[in-house]
């Protein structure tokens, strides 16, 4: 058993020691925060640099925000620095104003509750919690569209677009073109300057969303903030806060002020809380008020179930699992209770006018998505998709950015039809799907049943995947479930990036494969999506430190290892081109005996280990 | 909060109490062992019956063997009853004979070790361990082909074929036809009468294989037997014993005598042990002796790397990860050491003559499969595939059953080409693939990276999937890893069955979806691939027993639940057909107000919960 040169391994730790911090840092010291410098001093695009034992580095896309920069001192009560503040104000098209006054019912407290009552870290304590508050909200001056779509249409490349171009390794002009055409969105509320710009569109890296949120049954504010930063640490590109019950407003404030990624919500959930959970008591006024509340806080994209039309609701009656979207069923209940058309549909233009003044991106919700593979691709689902296409055209005409949400539960042979129809009906607006689950028989493993569908639909063009955790259909995810969901969806997204031929995607796989072939175990762990788990699994079988540089795997053991043999073959045949033969002619056969002798003379070890 | 009628729940337990046993039993009392009776008294085909709280049952394919039959008393030292004994002997074409004498080197003991030395539960103790031994091995009389392929070609429907037909819910004639055409295999060594017949072919349910096996580094005999029965309990259709190091012969004997599923091996691994791990010292004679040893023990299918030709080896030199198949690299090393053609290729006809006398199925190994997505679909891989196609035709002509092994590591956009080429080159012989992994960046999660590829390639026609556990590339799987690997691959296989439209596949999903929609939580758990995990995850959030029949999920909480709303919609609209409207004409609008009043008069709860 040979051991590797230990000095190489040490240099990684040494380099990392100066560059990383354990407090809120990366899960391995070989990950190092680095920046691409843009055209202005305050435009620095973060990425993750993986330090290799060979002295080389591998740059990877990074969503973890300032927390993983050792120069940053996190303080959840101060929030993140407002990265985009100057970019927004320098455009000169926003005004700050005296925003809507927070009310007890924003946090799910009864209208009659005296304001003086302190409930946990509730709404009344916001000023105390965030010393920077009250910050006056911003909006487009005189209702101007201050959206990245509006700028892109005007031919302007904003700092946000430049940031995204550097982040993706794509020309800024491509970013602008895709945004202008509505084929991509850059969710960036002017009231969430803390977020690092990112883009969602089929020409770019596939993105993933993690859902968090307390519910009436369980969970706390601190837990949700922790889940958000935990999810982004493992690769969540956006986070949706789906809180229900108490403290919705306050939870969201904490999340927004501490989030380096765009935050999405379903305003309907909070609106429903304001009417004590009675769907029939909802109104456009309550909804509108909630949307403005959330726009002012800085929510970057909102799921709006405006496609659940009254006439579509009966189409779900024949289904095996009816309506499974919470928002969809709330609107269906409202439509039925009033026998009127969905107020989100009838007030859609006004909603667009609100959203464009803050640059909030629509995520047009698929309220009638299938809840079982039996219901996939049915009349109700595709009827709603037609309406979402129509609404998307209206929104874009009003300069509001638009994503379209998609299913859900779809067997493999029906997935592509979803993508093809969505592209056609929705003018290639970014598709944002939940899974889809490819079978319903594995509750407890729906990250996997859906990871299969997610990888496939992303390969075919879906721009963002909403993760599914192992707890889907069973309960609320804890910290471990969030990590498992994120890692599973990073796998699906990356597998799709590779299959789509994204220029930077396969380099990562190649770097890891090289490390594997060359028995650089530490590099293999550090290049993994989850170094901790890879290292732990290895150490279970071969815990001793030398094993990590040993020239064999724990699968075959020291006596024989296929990788070892292969390295020998490479050393003999070089690039192999000269040795390629399609058969054995007389001459070749004559040469074989000579080669055999040569092989044995070298001690039967044809090749030396290859190290770059 | 309404609670369900508890008497329904109780009746499941009561029915189960009489039908199930905890000792070696199913993971939930609602699973019940049942049998389809065939045309002769000793032909009883097991299946798993899931007892529902509604009084109904759902029949599922079952691989767990007699262990889950409460009438069976397991005794690992007695082994399983020889189910197929009479079927084999009554055909009158086999003879029993004095087999090869076991030798110390069969268990990896040095040739010089005195036979009297007892090493663990080693070879010398076999007779003591298995009171039934020594059983004389059987083989085809005068070298006759006693294979299911030979019978199928002659138009004979064997009891094994009838068993499989009942198990799959397919006509026996279809089974015979697919076997005769070589599009399916039924691995069933005459010396493994304990196995329950199963079929591998693209017209049938997709099967999965679990690999087990001790190695030089870790693991014991008892652990491996336990892993085998554990894997079949969760759904493994076949098991490969990939043991290396000590006690190979003895481990295999234990596994075979206790296995209800076909057992596969790679004889090359044991042959290599017999020459102390030195590939260049291998010979046809050592290999042949090992094959006969394993044929006599009852191995049902053998991976044979006969396609690794000397002229293909240099094609791997340009690869990123060379040769990663252990068997492939052993043969490559041998070819290079001798500069002679692969002895498995040059002696292939003799090998066929041995295998057909026991009905051992070839699994023609893809020794040059890619070990990274960078190497997928390259010249080396497809050159070998051509040879495997050629060898398959020779084997079938000699009445030997044949599967073809496939990759490995393949990005999504290159998977279909693998399947299409294999069908064309190998005359639709069953394809048996390892994954494939769709990306290399997630060691620790390769059950998922490969589960994605496995589902896709199975949808396109792969007949059997070799599982990958979370420990792949890192270490040897433990009990939990085996379960995770099996469940993940059952998901992939079942998702493919659904996508292929196998007649029985979607009924399972539908039963679970019905249970979900109707809040029958216990039925939902019991219909899950893994009831234990589903139940545990649910109980983490809502541990109280009443929650399992509560009419809400832990995701939305008691106040609002989309499933509840949907049930109401169904109750109002019945099958929905009469209510379908494409727009609102004057008449429709007039009717809306009336419907609204009616809705409110019913208390705003339009629909009653639907229970079958």
Q: Which tens digits make up the pLDDT trace of B529-539?
A: 999 999 999 98
B-chain residues near A61 (CB < 8 A): none
Spatial distance between the Cα atoms of A531 and A25, rounded to a whole number of angstroms: 14
**Closest by alpha carbon to B592, among A338, A229, A109, A309?**
A338
Pairing mode, if any, of strands A464-466 and A431-434?
parallel
Length of chain B: 612
Question: Is the distance from CB of B264 to CB of B272 less than 8 angstroms?
Answer: no
Strand intervals (E) in B197-270: 200-201, 207-212, 238-241, 263-265
**With an 8 Å Cβ cutoff, are B583 and A311 in contact?**
yes
Token reading at A29: 């010291």
Whether chain B has a CB inside 8 Å of the CB on A559: the answer is yes
B399: Cβ–Cβ under 8 A, 6 or more apart, which residues? Answer: B145, B147, B149, B150, B153, B356
Half-sphere exposure of A136 (CA within 13 A, CB side): 7
Spatial distance between the Cα atoms of B528 and B215, rounded to a whole number of angstroms: 33
**With an 8 Å Cβ cutoff, are A320 and B491 in contact?**
no
Question: What pLDDT sits at residue B550?
Answer: 55
The closest CB to that of A456, out of B332, B456, B557, belongs to B456
Question: What pLDDT sits at residue A24?
Answer: 61
A340: Cβ–Cβ under 8 A, 6 or more apart, which residues? Answer: A310, B592, B596
Residue B142 to chain A, least CA–CA distance (Å) = 37
Give the CA distances from residue A370 to residues A47, A305, A440, B505, B513, in Å, rounded to whole numbers and listed in that order. Answer: 38, 15, 12, 19, 11
pTM here is 0.89
Residue among B28, B418, B491, B526 with most chain A CBs within 10 A, to mutate? B491
Question: Is the distance from CB of A491 to CB of A456 less than 8 angstroms?
Answer: no
Q: What is the mean pLDDT of residues B236-248?
A: 89
A-chain residues near B533 (CB < 8 A): 444-445, 470
Spatial distance between the Cα atoms of A610 and B84, rounded to a whole number of angstroms: 53
Token reading at A518: 């060359």
The chain A residue lying nearest B438, using CA atoms, is A495
Burial class (CB in 10 A: 0-12, 13-18, 19+), B172: middle
B513 appears as a binding residue in the annotation: no
Q: What is the mean pLDDT of residues B64-75?
A: 92
Question: Is the distance from CB of A71 to CB of A52 less than 8 angstroms?
Answer: no
Spatial distance between the Cα atoms of B184 and B199, rounded to a whole number of angstroms: 7
B466 appears as a binding residue in the annotation: no
HEC assignment per residue over B513-537? HHHHHCCCHHHHHHHCCCHHHHHHH
Crossing angle of the two packed helices B326-338 and B267-274, in degrees rounded to 10: 50
| A186 torsion bin: left (phi>0), alpha (psi -120 to 50), beta (else) | beta
**Closest by alpha carbon to B440, among B473, B469, B413?**
B473
Token reading at A546: 């030398």
Question: What pLDDT sits at residue A241?
Answer: 93
Three-state DSSP state, B44:
strand
B232: Cβ–Cβ under 8 A, 6 or more apart, which residues? Answer: B63, B64, B65, B210, B239, B259, B260, B261
Q: What is the mean pLDDT of residues B344-361?
A: 98
Tracing tokens 């198949």 back to the chain, one arrives at B325
What residue segments make up the domains of chain B, in order of their start? 84-113+143-503
Question: What pLDDT sits at residue B41?
Answer: 97
Question: Is the distance from CB of B472 to CB of B482 less than 8 angstroms?
Answer: no
Burial class (CB in 10 A: 0-12, 13-18, 19+), B331: buried
B-chain residues near A574 (CB < 8 A): 317
Pairing mode, if any, of strands A44-51 and A31-37?
antiparallel
Question: What pLDDT sits at residue A15?
Answer: 42
Residue among A376, A437, A475 with most chain B CBs within 10 A, to mutate? A475
**With an 8 Å Cβ cutoff, are B529 and A445 in contact?**
yes
Q: Phi, psi at residue B176, to the nearest 5°?
A: -60, -45
Burial class (CB in 10 A: 0-12, 13-18, 19+), B378: middle
Provide the pLDDT confidence category of residue B202 given band limits of 50, 70 and 90: very high
Question: What pLDDT sits at residue A76?
Answer: 82
**Closest by alpha carbon to A562, among B74, B319, B198?**
B319
Is residue B13 over pLDDT 50?
no
DSSP annotation string for A474-524: TS---HHHHHHHHHHHHHHHHHHHHHHT-TTHHHHHHHHHHHHHTT-HHHH
Spatial distance between the Cα atoms of B523 and B502, rounded to a whole number of angstroms: 23
Q: Phi, psi at residue A140, to the nearest 5°?
A: -60, 130
B-chain residues near A310 (CB < 8 A): 584, 592
A-chain residues near B599 (CB < 8 A): 336-337, 339
**With an 8 Å Cβ cutoff, are A318 and B577 in contact?**
yes
**With an 8 Å Cβ cutoff, are A581 and B451 in contact?**
no
Question: Is the distance from CB of B271 to CB of B287 less than 8 angstroms?
Answer: yes
**With an 8 Å Cβ cutoff, are B441 and A572 in contact?**
no
Q: What is the mean pLDDT of residues B315-344?
A: 93
Token reading at B309: 């030709």
Give the CA distances from residue B89 to residues B83, B138, B143, B197, B555, in Å, rounded to whole numbers and listed in that order. Answer: 12, 9, 16, 16, 59
Provide the pLDDT confidence category of residue B18 given band limits of 50, 70 and 90: very low
B-chain residues near A459 (CB < 8 A): 412-413
Spatial distance between the Cα atoms of A398 and B495, rounded to a whole number of angstroms: 42
Q: How far apart are the first and last CA of chain B?
A: 20
Question: Is the distance from CB of A20 to CB of A64 less than 8 angstroms?
Answer: no
Spatial distance between the Cα atoms of B172 and B159, rounded to a whole number of angstroms: 10
What residue ranges of chain A have pLDDT lower than 50?
1-23, 111-122, 216-217, 575-590, 599, 602-612
Spatial distance between the Cα atoms of B540 and B346, rounded to a whole number of angstroms: 60
Pairing mode, if any, of strands B207-212 and B464-466?
parallel
Whether chain A has a CB inside 8 Å of the CB on B266: the answer is no
Question: What pLDDT sits at residue A435?
Answer: 94
Pairing mode, if any, of strands A94-96 and A138-140?
antiparallel
Q: Which tens digits make up the pLDDT trace of B82-134?
A: 999 999 999 999 999 999 988 888 887 754 444 444 444 445 555 555 655 55
Spatial distance between the Cα atoms of A146 and B588, rounded to a whole number of angstroms: 41
Give how far the C-alpha of residue A430 lies from the chain's centroid of Cα atoms, to the nearest Å. 14
Q: Burial letters for A208-246: b for 16+ Cβ neighbours within 10 Å, e otherwise?
A: bbbbbbbbbbbbebebbbbbbbbbbbbbbbbbbbbbbbb
Residue among B440, B575, B577, B590 with most chain A CBs within 10 A, to mutate? B440
Question: What pLDDT sits at residue A102?
Answer: 83
**With an 8 Å Cβ cutoff, are B569 and A323 in contact?**
yes
Q: Which DSSP helix (H) or strand (E) runs through A103?
A: none
Return the percentage of chain B with pLDDT > 90, whole number: 69
Question: Is the distance from CB of A449 to CB of A421 less than 8 angstroms?
Answer: no
Pick the CATH number of B84-113+143-503 from 3.40.50.1970, 3.90.1010.10, 3.20.20.540, 1.10.3720.10: 3.20.20.540
**Closest by alpha carbon to A562, among B299, B466, B268?**
B268
Q: Phi, psi at residue A194, to the nearest 5°?
A: -70, -20
Whether chain A has a CB inside 8 Å of the CB on B444: the answer is yes
**Residue that wins the pLDDT comparison between B574 and B445:** B445
A54: Cβ–Cβ under 8 A, 6 or more apart, which residues? Answer: A8, A520, A523, A611, A612
The closest CB to that of A537, out of B452, B475, B533, belongs to B475
Mean residue pLDDT across chain B: 85
Strand intervals (E) in B361-439: 361-364, 402-406, 431-434
Three-state DSSP state, A448:
helix
Question: What pLDDT sits at residue A224?
Answer: 77
DSSP bridge partners of B301: B264, B361
**Closest by alpha carbon to A267, among A326, A311, A210, A323?**
A326
Three-state DSSP state, B34:
strand
Q: How far apart are the first and last CA of chain A?
A: 20
Question: Is the distance from CB of B606 to CB of A336 less than 8 angstroms?
Answer: yes
Token reading at B485: 């690997």
Spatial distance between the Cα atoms of B150 and B144, rounded to a whole number of angstroms: 10
Question: Is the distance from CB of B311 to CB of A583 less than 8 angstroms?
Answer: yes
Is residue B246 over pLDDT 90?
no
Is residue B583 over pLDDT 80?
no
B335 appears as a binding residue in the annotation: no
């Amino acid at each position: 058993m040979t051991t590797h040169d230990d000095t190489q391994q040490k240099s990684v730790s040494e380099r990392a020691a100066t560059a990383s911090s354990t407090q809120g840092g990366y899960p391995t010291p070989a990950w190092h925060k680095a920046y691409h410098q843009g055209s202005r001093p305050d435009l620095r695009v973060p990425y993750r640099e993986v330090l290799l034992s060979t002295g080389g580095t591998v740059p990877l896309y990074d969503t973890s925000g300032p927390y993983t920069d050792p120069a940053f001192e996190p303080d959840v009560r101060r929030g993140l620095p407002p990265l985009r503040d100057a970019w927004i104000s320098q455009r000169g098209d926003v005004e700050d104003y005296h925003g809507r006054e927070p009310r007890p019912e924003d946090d799910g407290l009864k209208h009659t509750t005296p304001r003086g009552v302190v409930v946990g870290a509730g709404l009344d304590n916001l000023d105390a919690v965030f010393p920077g508050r009250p910050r006056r909200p911003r909006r487009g001056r005189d209702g101007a569209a201050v959206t990245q779509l509006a700028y892109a249409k005007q031919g302007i490349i904003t700092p946000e677009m430049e940031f995204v171009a550097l982040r993706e390794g794509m020309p800024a002009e491509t970013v602008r073109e895709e945004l202008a055409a509505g084929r991509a969105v850059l969710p960036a509320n002017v009231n969430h300057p803390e977020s690092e710009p990112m883009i969602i569109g089929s020409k770019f890296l596939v993105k993933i969303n993690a859902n968090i949120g307390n519910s009436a049954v369980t969970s706390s504010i601190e837990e949700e903030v922790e889940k958000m930063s935990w999810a982004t640490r493992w690769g969540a590109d956006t986070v949706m806060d789906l809180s229900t019950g108490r403290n919705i407003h306050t939870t969201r404030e904490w999340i927004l002020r501490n989030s380096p990624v765009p935050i999405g919500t379903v305003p309907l959930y909070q609106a429903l809380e304001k009417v004590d959970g009675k769907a029939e008591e909802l109104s456009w006024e309550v909804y509108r008020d909630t949307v403005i509340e959330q726009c002012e806080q800085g929510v970057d994209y909102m799921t709006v179930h405006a496609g659940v039309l009254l006439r579509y609701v009966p189409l779900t009656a024949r289904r095996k699992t009816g309506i499974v979207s919470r928002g969809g069923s709330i609107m269906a209940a409202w439509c039925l209770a009033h026998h009127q058309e969905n107020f989100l549909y009838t007030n859609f233009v006004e909603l667009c006018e609100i959203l464009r003044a803050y640059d909030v991106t629509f995520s047009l919700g698929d309220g009638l998505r299938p809840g079982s593979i039996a219901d996939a691709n049915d009349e109700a689902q595709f009827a709603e998709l037609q309406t979402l296409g129509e609404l998307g055209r209206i929104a874009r005409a009003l300069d509001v950015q638009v994503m379209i949400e998609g299913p859900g539960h779809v067997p493999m042979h029906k997935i592509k039809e979803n993508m093809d129809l969505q592209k056609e009906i929705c003018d290639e607006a970014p598709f944002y799907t939940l899974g889809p689950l490819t079978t319903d028989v594995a509750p407890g493993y729906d990250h996997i049943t859906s990871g299969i569908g997610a990888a496939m639909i992303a390969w075919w063009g879906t721009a963002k995947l909403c993760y599914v955790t192992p707890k889907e259909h069973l309960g609320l995810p804890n910290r471990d479930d969030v990590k498992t969901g994120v890692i599973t969806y990073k796998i699906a997204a990356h597998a799709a990036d590779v299959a789509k031929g994204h220029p930077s995607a396969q380099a990562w796989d190649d770097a890891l494969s090289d490390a594997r072939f060359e028995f650089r175990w530490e590099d293999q762990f550090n290049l993994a999506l989850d170094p901790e788990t890879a290292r732990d699994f290895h150490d279970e079988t071969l815990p001793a430190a030398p094993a990590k540089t040993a020239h064999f795997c724990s699968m075959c053991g020291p006596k024989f290892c296929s990788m070892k043999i292969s390295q020998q073959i490479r050393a003999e045949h070089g690039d192999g081109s000269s040795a390629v033969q399609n058969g054995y002619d007389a001459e070749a056969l004559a040469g074989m005996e000579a080669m055999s002798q040569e092989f044995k003379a070298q001690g039967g070890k044809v090749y030396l280990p290859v190290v770059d």
